[in-house]
Amino acid sequence: MLFLIAFLTGLISALAFEPTGWWPLMPLAFAVLCELISRGASLKRALLIGWLFGVGQFVLGLNWIATAFTYQAAMPAWLGWVAVVLLSLYLAAFPTLAIGLSWRIGRDRPLALPLALAGAWAITEWLRAGIFTGFAWNPVAVTLVGTPLRGLSAGIGTYGLSAALVLIGGAIWLAARRQWKPAIGTFVPILLAAILFWPRPPLHRTDLKAVRIVQPNIGQEDKWREGLADEAFLRLGRLSAGDGPPRLLFWPEVAVPEPFQVLGPDQQPLPVPLPAVPRALQSIRPGDLLVTGAFGLITDGNGQIAGNTNSVFALTRFGQNLGRYDKAHLVPYGEYLPMRPLLSAMGLSQLAPGIGDTSSGPGPRTIDLGGFGKMGVQVCYEIIFSGEVIDDRNRPDFIFNPSNDAWFGRWGPPQHLAQARLRAVEEGLPVLRSTPTGISAVIDADGRLLHSLPWRKAGRIDTVLPTPRPPTLFARFGNVIPVLFGFLLIIAGIAVGRGRRYSPADI
């Protein structure tokens, strides 16, 4: 029965993520999980409880991955659900580690268990974001992005905020057991962090810089069909037209299915004229800057096409390229196929169409846009990696996150947006998102959602660029802070665990 409850608790906890967003379910799930861990009679049983909890949470929370398989013909669509289950079985290893460690430290001690679980959860989420290229999607902290508690991530980061959420669940569990003093003690780290990092009043800028974000509503089912380029340019041009002051104009990831640049083997541009660039420039006026996602073609030493890049270009009205960013954190199986010779022989392929694998860029960089300020870029799911989104040696004024969320059904886009909001809080920087089908948005430096366009609707956002904050504590020190916070909680759990054990009267 314990094992069934663990799986169902994990399943229900996934409803705390977007698009349902029932965030109180997450701390309640951790309260139930603390009770299940305390009832585990052995380490083996505790590990199985943790693994089943993780499987339940990931299978439901990541169901959007299955949708991506419906937009290609190289593999059967049902393989998408196989991918969801297999990925969930692997990702569940991380909560399993956290729960196993917390059982060892605090299985029969009132305060040690939630402290150890919170610390171990933060560290294992951080590990999940880095091991085997990392998959940082849906840290439990993201369920708090619609609450004032998101402000804590400016100091303790996303993984520290996850620890705080687990502590809230632990406090609920202790209160249910009438362990009042330990319950209050569990809240102390949260209260201290909240006092230091409670959200501040919104900023109002005086140097108004006009921006327009375009959402053409081009679905993945149409993205690469013949003749789509003409229609894409028409939609983008219509939404980009208009009078007014000079603007920053933002188009989505790979806005049109035509290359914007040809590169040599060293990924340096070659002087090859392409029709896509002049067609794009017809949509902008003198004084405007067009920032668009596009792909480049990479040639080998013989001049043959060998691969591609997933890039962002900043173009003036007269075709000057102020800078190019190449996506660095690529999606395995989406943009490249690991162990290509072996997996290709098995009939597997990458999901995104292209010639060969996508080549990765060097990592975060800042592009100087002149009078419009300095821009950091994170393409698509790069924005989910906490502490890895800007060049801290050349801090930008805002982050542009072009994305193609058309792959991900109804669940993926709102989850992606929520994680972008956490990056804004952590770095103290506005985040602007442009996607083909939604959700395009403007997020201020405190994670507030100022403007957005709904899913599957063409439109545009006309606004001004939000003001950045000074570098936050997290922006200065990165994930050193949440990792140290996690270890301190574990050490605290060990220390208080030397106190009294549970007695029958406590239950």
Question: In percent, how much of the chain has pLDDT > 90?
Answer: 60
The mean pLDDT of 212-223, rounded to a whole number, is 84
Chain-centroid distance of CA 467 in Å reads: 22
Task: Specify the pLDDT at position 75.
Answer: 60
Task: Specify the pLDDT at position 221.
Answer: 67
Place of tokens 């060969």: 356
DSSP 347-394: T---SS--SSPEEP--S--EEE-GGG-EEEE--GGGGGSTT-SS-TTS
Co-location of 382 and 442 in the same domain: yes
Write the single-letter amino acid at 457.
Answer: K
Please check whether residue 356 lies inside any domain of the structure: no
The residues annotated as belonging to the active site are 253, 327, 380
Chain-centroid distance of CA 439 in Å reads: 13
CA distance 416 to 381: 7
pTM above 0.85, yes or no: yes
Please check whether residue 153 lies inside any domain of the structure: yes
Co-location of 487 and 398 in the same domain: no
Please check whether residue 341 lies inside any domain of the structure: no
Number of domains composing the chain: 2
CA nearest neighbour of 38 among 490, 487, 504, 496 = 504
Question: In percent, how much of the chain has pLDDT > 70?
Answer: 90
Best mean pLDDT range from 207-211, 216-220, 223-227, 246-250:
246-250
Residue 73 binned pLDDT confidence (cut-offs 50, 70, 90)? low
CA distance 116 to 104: 9
Task: Specify the pLDDT at position 506.
Answer: 46
The CATH number given to whatever domain includes residue 255 is 3.60.110.10
Co-location of 430 and 490 in the same domain: no
Work out the angle at residue 113's Cα, subtended by the Cα atoms of residues 107 and 115, and round it to the nearest 5 degrees. Answer: 160
CA distance 369 to 140: 36
Co-location of 217 and 182 in the same domain: no
Interval 13-40: pLDDT, tens: 999 999 999 999 999 999 999 999 999 8
Mean pLDDT, the chain, whole residue set = 88
For the record, the structure tokens of 186 come out as: 């569990």
Interval 246-289: pLDDT, tens: 889 999 999 988 899 998 888 888 888 888 899 998 888 888 99
Co-location of 74 and 157 in the same domain: yes
Instruction: List, edge to edge, every strand of the sheet that includes 441-443.
Output: 366-368, 374-377, 398-402, 431-434, 441-443, 449-452
Please check whether residue 440 lies inside any domain of the structure: yes
Task: Give exposure, 109-131, as e/b (b: 16+ Cβ within 10 Å).
Answer: bbbbbbbbbbbbbbbbbbbbbee
More confident residue, 72 or 437: 437
Please check whether residue 302 lies inside any domain of the structure: no
Please check whether residue 348 lies inside any domain of the structure: no
β-strand 431-434 against 398-402: which pairing, if any? parallel
Co-location of 13 and 143 in the same domain: yes
Domain that holds residue 49: 2-200+477-506
Co-location of 433 and 456 in the same domain: yes
Work out the angle at residue 297's Cα, subtended by the Cα atoms of residues 294 and 299, and round it to the nearest 5 degrees. Answer: 165
CA nearest neighbour of 140 among 48, 61, 85 = 61
Q: How far, in Å, are 73, 76, 330, 340, 346 from residue 343 at the CA level?
A: 16, 15, 18, 5, 5
Co-location of 183 and 54 in the same domain: yes
Co-location of 151 and 100 in the same domain: yes
Please check whether residue 345 lies inside any domain of the structure: no
CA distance 431 to 451: 11
Interval 342-398: pLDDT, tens: 444 444 555 555 556 788 889 999 999 999 999 999 999 899 999 999 999 999 999
Task: Specify the pLDDT at position 342.
Answer: 45
Q: How far, in Å, are 134, 338, 364, 376, 397 from residue 331 at the CA level?
A: 10, 10, 16, 20, 27
Co-location of 91 and 196 in the same domain: yes
pLDDT at 182 over 80: no
Co-location of 396 and 500 in the same domain: no
Co-location of 390 and 267 in the same domain: yes
**Of 39-48, 96-105, 403-412, which gets the smallest average pLDDT?**
403-412
Please check whether residue 334 lies inside any domain of the structure: no
CA nearest neighbour of 477 among 162, 254, 157 = 157
